[in-house]
């Protein structure tokens, strides 16, 4: 599971709906999620009601993530950024997509991959979609017998263990949900994790997300 979520955005998501699985079970335990993939996500911040869409490159082998926010013309004054998280160096680069201005900020959270931890609790198994056009998934959480409510729920595909949705509850007022889609195995361009030349003189503070 993944807890960087996310120093930069307040964001997007929705609940995953599906048909209940028959005779669902945890089987041999959680599946092993891919270590490298590219795709898109929608991050939703329940406390603000804000959504963010982005293209994502995920490299679990080298503990790094690149997030490229998608432009939305219907959001006046909105600035769009590229974020490069380098957890082995514990730094994050925030790059303005238009001006290429760059901020370099120290990361405080440790690396937490998109996966299902071995000590997770099996919750459910079901199909997303309708007959003939569905995907079988399993749902896991960090719920334990001594604690009634979970703080993380992850939904992963049965076939290849790709993430479908992750939901985090920080406290009673902060919850984020992330939906993943259009995922492809591997990293097509490793250079996306290399900050541009403007980051050689990066500012130490974050840039605002709006011009207004």
Burial 79-96 (b: 16+ CB within 10 A, else e): bbbbbbbbbeeebbbbbe
Determine the Cα–Cα distance for residues 70 and 172; give it in Å rounded to an integer. 29
Amino acid 188: pLDDT: 96
Amino acid 9: pLDDT: 40
Amino acid 12: pLDDT: 34
pLDDT digits (tens, 9 = 90+) for 94-145: 999 999 999 999 999 999 999 999 999 999 999 999 988 999 999 999 988 7
Strand pairing class (81-86; 91-96)? antiparallel
What's the whole-model pTM score? 0.83
Amino acid 147: pLDDT: 63
| Full set of structural domains in the chain with CATH | 36-199 (2.50.20.30)
User: Tens place of pLDDT for every residue, the chain, 212 residues?
Assistant: 554 544 444 333 333 333 344 444 556 789 999 999 999 999 998 877 888 899 999 999 999 999 999 977 666 677 899 999 999 999 999 999 999 999 999 999 999 999 999 999 999 999 999 988 999 999 999 988 766 678 899 999 999 999 999 999 877 667 899 999 999 999 999 999 999 999 999 999 999 887 76
């Amino acid at each position: 599971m993944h807890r960087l979520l996310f120093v930069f955005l307040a964001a997007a998501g929705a609940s995953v709906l599906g048909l209940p699985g028959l005779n669902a079970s945890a089987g041999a335990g959680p599946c092993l999620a891919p270590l490298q993939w590219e795709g898109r996500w929608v991050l939703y911040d329940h406390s603000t009601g804000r959504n963010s869409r982005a293209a994502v490159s995920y490299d679990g082998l080298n503990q790094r993530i690149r997030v490229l926010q998608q432009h939305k013309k219907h959001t006046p004054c909105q600035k769009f950024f590229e974020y490069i998280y380098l957890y082995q160096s514990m730094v994050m680069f925030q790059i303005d997509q238009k001006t290429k201005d760059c901020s370099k900020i120290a990361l405080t959270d440790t690396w937490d991959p998109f996966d299902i931890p071995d000590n997770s609790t099996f919750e459910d198994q079901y199909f997303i979609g309708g007959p003939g056009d569905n995907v079988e998934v399993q749902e896991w959480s960090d719920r334990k017998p001594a604690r009634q409510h979970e703080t993380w729920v992850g939904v992963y595909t049965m076939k290849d263990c790709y993430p479908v949705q992750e939901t985090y509850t920080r406290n009673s007022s902060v919850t984020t949900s992330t939906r993943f889609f259009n995922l492809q195995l591997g990293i097509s361009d490793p250079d996306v994790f290399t900050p541009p030349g403007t980051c050689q003189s990066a500012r130490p503070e974050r840039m605002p997300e709006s011009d207004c």
